[in-house]
Structure 1
Amino acid sequence: MRKIIFIGRSEAGKTTLTQALKGETITYQKTQYVNNYDVIIDTPGEYAETKTLGGALAVYSYEADVVGLLLSSIEPFSLYPPNVCSICNREVVGIVTKIEHPMGSPKQAAQWLRLAGCEKIFFVSAYTGEGIAELLEYLKEEGDVLPWEEAKEQDERLWQKKGSLKGNV
């Protein structure tokens, strides 16, 4: 599975999308530092919003195969300058979040991401699940099993084994 780094301003939906991709219950969590999961790197919005912290994003992007620029459909402006993707030596995709929001404008957000240089754009809603499967499919490589699905299977096998041992005592 290809590793992706999520970049975007605070409240763009990076952590919520991470939870949705992993199949976890959606709970609000303010990301305080860079979280490096199996195949997802979740970054604080302040890194993208603050000039002095932007360099850290460049460093962390070297650990990823794909850079995901997130833009909420309810944003009043784009955080990304035109053609910013051209300075990245990784594949860059755009991800429009909060597409279910009644005040959102997913088309406007997609236009801003295209202006930034994103050729591939995903429209996702962590709450309705729309677009999540497409993003996961895009990140998968042939024969991949998601790391968190593999961990669940191992846990289930351990519990089954433990249960069968209890019956033998």
Structure 2
Amino acid sequence: MKKLILMGRSECGKTTLIQALRGNVIKYHKTQYINHYDVVIDTPGEYAENSTLSKALALYTYEADVVGLLLSATEEYSLYPPCVTACCNRPVIGIVTQTDHEGAHVERAHNWLDLAGCRPIFHVSSYTGEGIWQILNYLKEPGDKLPWETEEEAERPRAVISDKYGDIKQ
């Protein structure tokens, strides 16, 4: 699988998403330093919120194949300036989290990530499982076998197609 680094504000759902991607039981855990898991790098929200610490995020992107910018659907504003992904030399995907929250504004968060330059953009709920398999399929490399696939399906070439907004269509 491609290695993914997750970035976003505190409590936007980075660690919870990692737990969901790995199939773990979801429980609250405050990330206080950079955590390296098998194919995911988890970063503290303070790194994205503080301009002094944000420089470290740029360095950690070199250890990943894909950068994931997370934005909660409950956010009132976006940390990400327009076209910020042009600063990165890796593919940058957008991940709208907490889509199942009663106060979620999924389309607004999607538009902010689109404006930042993220392609594609995934909508996920770590608690319901919505969007989790789409991210795993995106990160999948030839020869990787996901838990729900047969050997034949794992070996079959697949096309990732996105619409004009960068959303994945399978």
Q: TM-score range by the shorter chain?
A: 0.7 to 0.9
Runs of 4+ residues deviating >6 angstroms: none
Q: What RMSD, in angstroms, separates the aligned Cα atoms of the two structures? A: 1.0
Determine the C-alpha separation between the residues in 2 that align with 1:90 and 1:62.
8
The 5 A counterparts of 1:10-21 are 10-21=10-21
Task: Please give the TM-score of this superposition, normalised by the length of structure 2.
Answer: 0.85
Q: Which residue of structure 1 aligns with residue 162 of structure 2?
A: none
Match of 1:88 in 2: 88
Unaligned runs of 5+ in 1: 150-169
**Runs of at least 5 residues in structure 2 that lack an aligned partner in the other structure:** 148-170
Confirm or deny that 1:103 pairs with 2:91.
no
Percent sequence identity over aligned pairs: 63
Matches within 5 A, 1:57-96: 57-96=57-96
Which residue is 2:47 aligned to?
47
SS at match of 1:54: helix
Amino acid at match of 1:120: P
How many residue pairs are counted as aligned between the two chains?
Answer: 147
Structure-2 residue corresponding to 1:27 = 27
Deviations 1:120-164 (A, max 9, x none): 100000000000001001101111146xx7xxxxxxxxxxxxxxx
Partner Cα distance (1:69, 1:86) in 2: 13
Higher-Rg structure is 1
Equivalent position SS for 1:68: strand
Higher-helix-fraction structure? 1
**SS state at 2:115 partner:** helix
